[in-house]
């Protein structure tokens, strides 16, 4: 099955580009973005993915608006043969210039949510280390991800009003990943397999002249499965920003985290990240949450609009809710991103702390699947 990408010298196997190298039904290819005001007044997230063996494309756009409500748009379709077709109903992504600019459009629709936004990079692409997690003898997660940091400009319309997104105010993270991850309907058949606890933490931060990132997967005793810390230059403009690896990425020897939780929840009240270089002093960054975004607004753990779920030839959906009124221990509400103020001595930054912890986790005192931190909520 050929598509336009096959006209470029980019093949990695003897198969056409549309044929994944793996036959795992959970193969995926995802584009993800966030955007947030430097003062924490709003946040939005964007997701689009193709699941080749499930023959599904889906997308989501979700925004937390000034005043606190979160509005969500979802769409799903049968995946097109043409992999450059990144449209699902009224939603589409246009790659204006690879590794430099991307436009995201959500045309007017019944949800009352629409946008026309342009992401502009201010860092070179940053490749994270390959992440592989096992369940017994099976790799249930095996992926490559690269990140870019930058800014947004454009407009968001939502049921409560309009947000004018200015590049001087709106920070951005772009996340491209592909490989295999748990998506869609659960596999059935065979002997029962006990679920595995999950602890994931991701902290992409923007400083005045550089960016940093830390990535963690832990086991239930707090044992390190993935530990990665990074730092890279933040360039002053698109013209100054390279569109490929610039050789200035600093990979740390390791990274560490410490989290205090809001009592009765699994939500971070405060956090510290240590970036440990191969030589020199450890850098300790303190994080202060100022805004919460529920990742179910982009399909993560959503009971109805979960990623990779077959919804028909074309289906659209939406919902709105007040994050302050949610049960934070309900399974679909455990996965969050928080906009955070970052401090490192006299340096100040802004970014997000993504977190999901499901199941026992000894460092926090979590003993069951959905219990919260000690103390009255």
Question: Tell me: the pLDDT tens digits for 256-292?
Answer: 999 999 999 999 999 999 999 999 999 999 999 999 9
Q: Residue 134's pLDDT is what?
A: 87
Q: Residue 314's pLDDT is what?
A: 98
Residue 326 lies in a domain: yes
Residue 307 lies in a domain: yes
**Is the Cβ–Cβ distance between 129 and 226 less than 8 Å?**
yes
Instruction: Give per-residue pLDDT as tens, 120-159.
Output: 999 999 999 998 988 888 888 899 999 999 999 999 999 9
Residue 282 lies in a domain: yes
Residue 92 lies in a domain: yes
**Is the Cβ–Cβ distance between 86 and 48 less than 8 Å?**
yes
With a cut of 80, say whether residue 200 has pLDDT above it.
Answer: yes
Residue 7 lies in a domain: no
As a whole number of angstroms, the distance between CA 339 and CA 291 comes to: 5
User: Which residues, 6 or more positions from 189, have their beta carbon under 8 angstroms from its beta carbon?
Assistant: none
| Residue 258, domain extent | 25-183+196-364
Residue 377 lies in a domain: no
Mean pLDDT of all residues in 15-43: 94
**Number of structural domains, the chain?**
1
Residue 300's CATH number: 2.40.370.10
Q: Residue 110's pLDDT is what?
A: 97
Q: Residue 376's pLDDT is what?
A: 62
Q: How confident is the model at residue 165 (pLDDT cuts 50, 70, 90)?
A: very high
Place of tokens 């993560």: 300
Residue 371 lies in a domain: no
Residue 370 lies in a domain: no
**Is the Cβ–Cβ distance between 123 and 148 less than 8 Å?**
yes
Most confident of 128-142, 179-193, 329-343: 329-343
Least-confidence region, from 48-57, 178-187, 284-293? 178-187
Q: Residue 377's pLDDT is what?
A: 61
What pTM does this model have?
A: 0.96
């Amino acid at each position: 099955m050929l598509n336009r990408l096959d006209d470029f010298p980019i093949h990695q196997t003897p198969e056409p580009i549309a044929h994944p190298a793996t036959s795992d039904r959970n193969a995926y290819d995802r584009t993800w973005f966030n955007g947030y005001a430097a003062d924490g007044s709003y946040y939005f997230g964007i997701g689009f993915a193709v699941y080749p063996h499930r023959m599904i494309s889906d997308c989501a756009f979700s925004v937390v608006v000034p005043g606190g409500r979160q509005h969500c748009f979802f769409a799903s379709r049968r995946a097109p043969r043409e992999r450059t077709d990144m449209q699902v109903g009224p939603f589409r992504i246009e790659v204006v210039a690879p590794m430099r600019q991307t436009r995201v459009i959500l045309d007017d629709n019944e949800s009352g949510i629409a946008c026309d936004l342009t992401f502009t990079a201010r860092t070179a692409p940053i490749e994270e280390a390959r992440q592989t997690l096992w369940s017994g003898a099976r790799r249930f997660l095996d992926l490559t991800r690269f990140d870019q940091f930058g800014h947004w400009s454009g407009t968001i319309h939502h049921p409560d009003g309009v947000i004018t997104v200015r590049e001087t105010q709106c920070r951005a993270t772009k996340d491209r990943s592909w490989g295999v991850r748990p998506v869609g309907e659960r596999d059935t058949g065979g002997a029962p397999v006990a679920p595995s606890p999950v602890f994931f933490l991701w902290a992409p931060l923007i400083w005045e002249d550089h960016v940093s990132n830390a990535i963690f997967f832990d086991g239930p005793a707090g044992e390190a499965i993935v530990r990665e810390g990074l730092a890279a230059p933040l360039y002053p403009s698109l013209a100054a920003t390279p569109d490929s690896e610039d050789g200035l990425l600093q990979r740390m020897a390791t990274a560490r985290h410490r989290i205090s939780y809001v009592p009765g929840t699994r939500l971070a009240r405060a956090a510290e990240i240590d970036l440990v270089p191969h030589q020199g002093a450890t850098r300790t960054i303190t994080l202060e949450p100022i805004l919460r975004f529920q990742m179910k607004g982009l399909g993560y753990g959503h009971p109805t609009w979960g990623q990779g779920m077959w919804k028909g030839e074309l289906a659209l959906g939406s919902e709105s809710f007040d994050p302050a009124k949610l049960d934070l221990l309900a399974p679909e509400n455990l996965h969050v991103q928080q906009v955070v103020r970052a401090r490192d001595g006299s340096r100040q930054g802004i970014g997000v702390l993504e977190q999901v912890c499901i199941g026992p986790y000894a460092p926090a005192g979590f003993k069951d699947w959905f219990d919260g931190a000690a103390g009255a909520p």
